[in-house]
Amino acid sequence: MKKDTRNFVIVLAVLVAILVGGNIAVRESSGVDPPFTVVESQSMQHGNGSEIGIIDTGDMVLVKSPSKTDIISYVEGYHSGYRSFGEYGSVIVYERSVGNPVIHRAILWLESNGDGTWSAESLKYYTDDGSETGRMWSCGLYNDYLNMSGTLKLYDVGYAGKIVSINLDTLDNGRSGYLTMGDNAVTNRDFDQAIGVYGDLVAVENIRSVAWVEIPWLGSLKLMINGNTSALDTWASNSIGYLAVAFVTVIMVLMAIGYTSDCLHIKKAKKR
């Protein structure tokens, strides 16, 4: 076997081993099949353009089964400091009866009291010591987080400081679950349950997976192949350019590995 051919085979074998091993490791850690989802909308973006660390149109996101990780709501994350993808709390992928699954942030867990009222103990800690009352939410006359009804409001939510609200009396009181919302302050100004993205609280059984790792731009290929580029063109048009740069970088790295290998062989040959 010629030296160039041998080097190519070695590099190819290493790449295949990395890909196969990585795929096995990801699937085992994920517990979901497939262990990824492609983001087709702009609802989680923090601005006009793709950013690393934020879930943008055209990104591929590795996901985990809810059984393999904890779901932390935005309100809980605000208190504990836990953040993912640029905001407090976890991002979940949930099923709905009509339409594609939704990848949005879990904002607040509401527990049904079974008598027309709701509990949300985590609201106890959704406070700002710099504000007049300290409380960053309101509901009814008494603001009792263990006995809520009527309109619930949360203040200063997310990077844009949104004020969001939901009439709790419109929800199914026999069903506990999450209030959810996309991060985008332009297109997703309120809870999913208030603007018709989803008709009720997201119960545990509706949660397909939890967002785990962002792989920026890679999902753009799927959107282009499917001709679904409207949101990509409008909200993350820089994704294609970044993806091209990433591919070129990978090729250059492989070429550098091959060149370095050749130089080492030549050096050894000269010593002989």
pLDDT, position 9: 64
Query: 143: which residues sit within 8 A by CB, 6+ positions away?
Result: 135, 137
In the predicted structure, residue 73 carries a pLDDT above the cut 60: yes
- pTM for the full model? 0.86
pLDDT, position 132: 52
pLDDT digits (tens, 9 = 90+) for 100-151: 999 999 999 999 999 999 999 999 999 986 555 688 999 988 999 999 999 9
pLDDT, position 272: 61
Q: Which of 11-15, 84-88, 212-216 has the lowest mean pLDDT?
A: 11-15
Helices 238-271 and 3-30, packing angle to 10 deg: 130
pLDDT, position 106: 98
pLDDT, position 257: 75
In the predicted structure, residue 13 carries a pLDDT above the cut 90: no
CB neighbours (10 Å) of residue 174? 7
pLDDT, position 111: 98
For all residues of the chain together, what is the average pLDDT?
89
215 contacts 63 by C-beta, under 8 angstroms = no
In the predicted structure, residue 258 carries a pLDDT above the cut 90: no
pLDDT, position 11: 59
pLDDT, position 18: 67
pLDDT digits (tens, 9 = 90+) for 199-253: 999 999 999 999 999 999 999 999 999 998 899 999 999 998 998 888 888 888 8
Q: Which of 75-89, 110-124, 165-179, 233-247 has the lowest mean pLDDT?
A: 233-247
**Whole-number Cα distances in Å, 255 to 13, 70, 152, 247, 263:** 15, 42, 58, 12, 12
Q: What is the largest CA-CA distance in the chain?
A: 89
Considering only residues 238 and 8, tell me which one the structure prediction assigns the higher pLDDT. 238
Say what percent of the chain tops pLDDT 90. 70
Structure tokens at 46: 């923090």
145 contacts 123 by C-beta, under 8 angstroms = yes
Band (pLDDT 50/70/90 cuts) for residue 7 is low
Half-sphere exposure of 58 (CA within 13 A, CB side): 29
pLDDT, position 6: 63
